A and B are shown apart, each in its own frame.
Chain A
Amino acid sequence: KNEVEQSPQNLTAQEGEFITINCSYSVGISALHWLQQHPGGGIVSLFMLSSGKKKHGRLIATINIQEKHSSLHITASHPRDSAVYICAVSDMDSNYQLIWGAGTKLIIKP
């Protein structure tokens, strides 16, 4: 069983829809990261959080430490949001490494 699991693996939606991507983990963490990768592009960090909720523009990330679960929401989705969204956790027992989810491929159709 992977230590970080994302769902869904693939998601296709219409422009304007509210999007939710989920991440569950099984290890103790010091922080959880959400990252974005556009086709052919590098990876960009969106959020790093250890509790509660963070918001940046139309993106919202939440984390429930007790349930070991995080969600990434996109409001009023747009075709430019089409990308792979990756969840990763900083393992409490490791000073350096992140444990990576497999990613969720999101396609927003106009």
Chain B
Amino acid sequence: DVKVTQSSRYLVKRTGEKVFLECVQDMDHENMFWYRQDPGLGLRLIYFSYDVKMKEKGDIPEGYSVSREKKERFSLILESASTNQTSMYLCASSFLNVGYEQYFGPGTRLTVT
């Protein structure tokens, strides 16, 4: 069974704090993704990575950065959290060329106060 885990299910942070969200997958997937999900807006891609140390901006990268030092681990960083970053954050992974089926983690609900 593919397993994608995220470091926290719920997180509350203050405005201006640096926030780390971590994602780990155990299927040796090349691709990893960070999305945010907001009511009425669906899933929006923040960043993705197709290899260690490689990253590509998605649709809404502003205010975020990512790190992929190991194949199984992909971190999302909010350098200075703001209230408009309150959202559900979902990590996903997939093989590079197997129809791009993505496997999702359980999500982290982040509240910035």
A50 neighbours in B (Cβ, 8 Å): 99
Indicate if the CB atoms of B45 and A97 lie closer than 8 Å. yes
Chain B minimum-CB-distance residue to A45: B101
- Interface residue? B90 (CB, 8 A): yes
Interface size for chain B: under 10, 10 to 19, 20 to 34, or 35 or more residues? 20 to 34
* Chain B, range 24-47, C-beta contacts under 8 Å to A: 31, 33, 40-45
Indicate if the CB atoms of A42 and B106 lie closer than 8 Å. yes
Indicate if the CB atoms of A96 and B48 lie closer than 8 Å. yes
Indicate if the CB atoms of B101 and A33 lie closer than 8 Å. yes
A50 and B106 CA atoms in complex are apart in Å by: 27
Name A's B-contacting residues (CB within 8 A): 30-31, 33, 41-45, 48, 50, 86, 88, 90, 95-98, 100-103
Name B's A-contacting residues (CB within 8 A): 31, 33, 40-45, 48, 50, 56, 58, 90, 92, 96, 99-107
Known A-B contacts: A43-B90, A44-B104. Give 8 more (CB < 8 A): A30-B100, A33-B102, A45-B102, A96-B31, A98-B102, A100-B42, A101-B42, A102-B40
- List 3 tightest A-B contacts by C-beta distance, closest first: A43-B104, A42-B106, A102-B42
